[in-house]
Amino acid sequence: MMILQALFLLAILQALPNHAAAPTATADLFREYIGAEFNNVKFTDVPINPQVDFHFLLAFAIDYDTSGSPSPTNGQFNVFWDTDNLGASQISSIKSQNPKIKVALSLGGDSVSNGNCYFTPSSVDSWVSNAVTSLTAVIRKYNLDGIDIDYEHFKSNPDTFAECIGRLITTLKNNGVISFASIAPFDDPEVQSHYQALWNKYGNVIDYVNFQFYAYDQETSVDQFLKYYDEQSSNYDGGKVLVSFISDGSGGLSPADGFFKACDRLKKQGKLQGIFAWSADDSKANGFRYERQSQAVLATPN
């Protein structure tokens, strides 16, 4: 009888969704994209609260060539962020100042040059092979800790996207190249179909969901924001879904209009998993006031 009970329990555990065992993550986490706009922003410009875990997300590495009219390269990634100000020496320096600081690499993004950046694999096997090789070289050259997936346009079906990205993250983790990975979806039918396919199959290797809440309407209220948060937490069930703002206030619930009130309510409910911002490049103009405020919220005990 004991053997039958043990076998029954094992069968139940094996039947759980693969994202149920998602890696644990701190709720005192602030993340910020940096380097996409080439406005000379530096790591040292950004205020960092020593009580908070801080992730810089370099924007971007893209599998396009670097010609005047960039074309897809099937997983062969090139650097498209501001390496003059955010290069290998600067990365090593900022990480040496505080063990809570990590630097990761965001892949894809909305655009490249003056056109959309498309996820365009020739095949799963070739894309994964090229991506593992090229990203391993970039990550080791710049002493990076993780990757973020931010493709927003697709010339592949959801299953192909899920398989390519899921196998990439799994291989980089298994090879000891990265220690964490995140995804950055937003509320668009095509985007959600691709990222939820990825989540449903490979959620167990995804540590954070950087949901772009600033892609919602600019007139979003606090109550609407909280409703959106619950919806996306359900869509990425079991995941560490971070709330977010855009520095210039051009979308979603802005820091000037109730974002931090929503954060306080989530924190009191035990739901606040962390905060991220787009982007340090834009925040430079306002002295990073919202970065300071975000980290103060995260560092404050419940």
| Residues assigned a catalytic role | 152
Q: How far apart are CA 170 and CA 96, in angstroms?
A: 27
**Long-range CB pairs of 195-198, under 8 A, 24+ apart, other chains included:** 196/158, 196/235, 196/236, 197/158, 197/159, 197/161, 197/162, 198/149, 198/158, 198/161, 198/162, 198/165, 198/166
Q: How far apart are CA 62 and CA 81, in angstroms?
A: 10
Place of tokens 């990073």: 288
Dihedral angle, C-alpha 71, 60, 152, 54, nearest 10 °: 170
